[in-house]
Amino acid sequence: MDELTHKDYLRQAEATLQRIEAAADAIDLDSKREGSVLTLEFDSGDQVIVNLQPAIDELWLASRLGAYHFRHADGAWRDTREGREFDDLLLDAVTALGGVVLPLQRR
């Protein structure tokens, strides 16, 4: 795993939240940002929550489909359990829970 400096973590993590917000805005998906927590909410009431964990340099993703922790490795945010990419898991959750395709710009 490539270790980011804390400053690089903050820059990468903030850029990730901004990419998600821009994608949600592009399809008029309800999103709410409170500090380092971004919530995507669907008509069904389901939510996908992405939040930063700066104390441990992680990015977290949670929905009723599961919860994941990500660390930056090999140029991407990777799940700490199985090494899956954040973007893939986020897109899967949004499609499954909201029935929409999030037009997420890849890194």
- Tell me if 103 is assigned to some domain: no
- pTM, two decimals, is 0.93
Provide the domain limits for residue 61.
6-98
Residue 107 pLDDT class (50, 70, 90 cuts)? low
Strands 58-63 and 66-73: antiparallel
Q: pLDDT tens for residues 72-92? A: 988 899 999 999 999 999 999
CA dist 20 → 1, 55, 82, 97 (Å): 24, 22, 22, 16
19 domain-assigned: yes
pLDDT at residue 8, as a whole number: 94
Q: How many domains does the structure of the chain reveal? A: 1
Could you tell me the pLDDT band of residue 106, with boundaries at 50, 70 and 90? confident
Structure tokens at 83: 């090494």
Q: DSSP state, 44?
A: T
**Beta partners for residue 78, in sequence order:** 71, 85
Is 1 within a domain? no
Domain-embedded: residue 33: yes
Give the pLDDT of residue 1: 43
